[in-house]
Amino acid sequence: MCKLLLGQTLSFSGDPFARPVDEVAHHENRGGVVIDGGKIVDVGPADAMRAAHPDAQVTDHGQALISAGFVDAHVHYPQTAIIASWGKRLIDWLNSYTFPEEMRFSDPAYAAEAARSYFDLTLANGTTTVCSFCTIHPESVDAFFAEAQARGLRVAGGKTCMDRNAPEGLRDTAQSGYDDSKALLGKWHGVDRLTYAITPRFSPTSTPEQLEAMGALWAEHPDCLMQTHLSEQTDEVAWVAELFPQARDYLDTYEQFGLLGEGGLYGHAIHLTDRERAQLKEVGASLIHCPTSNTFIGSGLFDMDGLTKEGQRIGLATDTGGGSSFSMLRTMAAAYEIGQLRGRPLHPAELWWLATAGSARALRMEDRIGTLAPGMEADLSVIDLASTPAITQRAARAETIWEAIFPTIMMGDDRAIRQVYAGGRACLG
């Protein structure tokens, strides 16, 4: 039987960085979303939806906002337990906190428990799709996909490959990285709602041989995503230049080995040269902005204004556990703050679009998730725009939907998430 969800509705039919907000954003103060068989079949004013679908089972979410579920385009689910670890910059942070924790994922029971805990947290925060790095252990990939599959989620992920500059026990080889990734991809890619992402961690932890093997695997499976990190901190960029003396720049260490292309997801992408920007744009690669991570680890200020004006494809992400929150609301707030530090206040519509349709586009899933429209999969978040006293008193003065939403963007957290639907099924409560 089909369901009719009532509330305020917000969705986008285009990119608010490229077109006027009023043209691309669609808000109904009293709207309805009809879902059937895991898909959205109708969206419109509540009265019209009731009239067109008289047999639908109605759930009234009152004044809460029904949106596409949040899409978190770059995360490390194995870092859940080390989120908010104090005092280190990138390379020391990896060595001190991250690698010791990732070592534990050779144990399938540990990995399974971590995946459970991670998806509990993301769903509680209104996030319905993530694209995750796992660890070098195939068990960590199995745990991730099995848990997402059991919950009916659309996710992407892959085995993180590293064959140097990582501790004993956390290194594979060029050949085993290729073989394990290929086997995992064969097992999970395209099963239910799961997408495999070929995952060389970043150039410092892969030999040229491993990067070449990853490039070969992607060429054999071009419908997979490929995810990695790019130009996050200046020390890291300098290290890459030492490790790859022949490379023109950081991006070239991927480009040379077939790891630059459409479907390539490049996390952080802060300290880019003009050549790198031009190449990324040329192929239609995705740059993933991780604002809470970039401030927490002290990486730098992403050039949202310049990169969107160039027409780059950009997604938004928590980068947990380098990022300091599981919440895409908090992540939007951090993106706003970084925009302010660079002199470009992002509009609430731009922030919301980045967290939903923009990230879906970055993951090449925009025809399935990220917007409320007939034919899209029914992954939705229901958000209370008056979830705390501080937010309520500010939102009470709002005269537009954007003024009503912005206090929740800046001050909201998991308390604002009333319900989440994944493939049409309610996940909370």
Q: Out of ligand GUN, Zn ion, none, which partner does residue 202 contact, by CB within 5 to 8 A per kind? A: ligand GUN
Instruction: Enumerate residues 6+ apart whose C-beta is below 8 A from 304.
Output: 289, 314, 335, 338, 339, 342, 344, 346
Q: Among 14-22, 90-98, 119-127, 149-157, which window interacts with ligand GUN (CB under 6 A)? A: 90-98
Phi and psi at residue 257, to the nearest 5°? -110, 20
Q: Out of ligand GUN, Zn ion, none, which partner does residue 98 contact, by CB within 5 to 8 A per kind? A: ligand GUN
Does position 158 interact with Zn ion (CB under 5 A)? The reply is no
Does position 322 interact with ligand GUN (CB under 6 A)? The reply is yes
Cβ-based nearer residue to Zn ion, 8 or 320: 320
Bridge-partner residues for 316, per DSSP? 289
- Which residues between 279 and 318 bind ligand GUN (CB under 6 A)? 293, 297
- Which residues between 98 and 137 bind ligand GUN (CB under 6 A)? 98
- Which residues between 8 and 37 bind ligand GUN (CB under 6 A)? none
Binding mask of the shown chain, residues 314 to 333, with x at each position contacting Zn ion by CB under 5 A: -----x--------------
Ranked by CB distance to ligand GUN, the top (closest) residue is 322
Does position 291 interact with Zn ion (CB under 5 A)? The reply is no
Nearest-Å Rg of the Cα atoms of the chain is 21
Cα-based distances in Å from 22 to 18, 72, 289, 349: 12, 25, 25, 9
Out of 7, 16, 31, 267, the residue judged to bind Zn ion by CB under 5 A? 267
Out of 147, 163, 276, 319, the residue judged to bind ligand GUN by CB under 6 A? 319
Residue 264 belongs to what H/E stretch? strand 264-268
Does position 201 interact with ligand GUN (CB under 6 A)? The reply is yes
Per-position DSSP letters for 395-418, written without gaps between them: HTT--SHHHHHHHHHHH--GGGEE
In this structure, how many other beta carbons lie within 10 angstroms of the beta carbon of residue 67?
Answer: 25
Q: In whole angstroms, give the CA distance from residue 321 to residue 136.
A: 17
Cβ-based nearer residue to ligand GUN, 77 or 421: 77
Cα-based distances in Å from 171 to 13, 161, 180, 303: 44, 8, 13, 33
Site for ligand GUN, rule CB under 6 A: 76, 90, 94, 98, 201-202, 229, 232, 293, 297, 319, 322
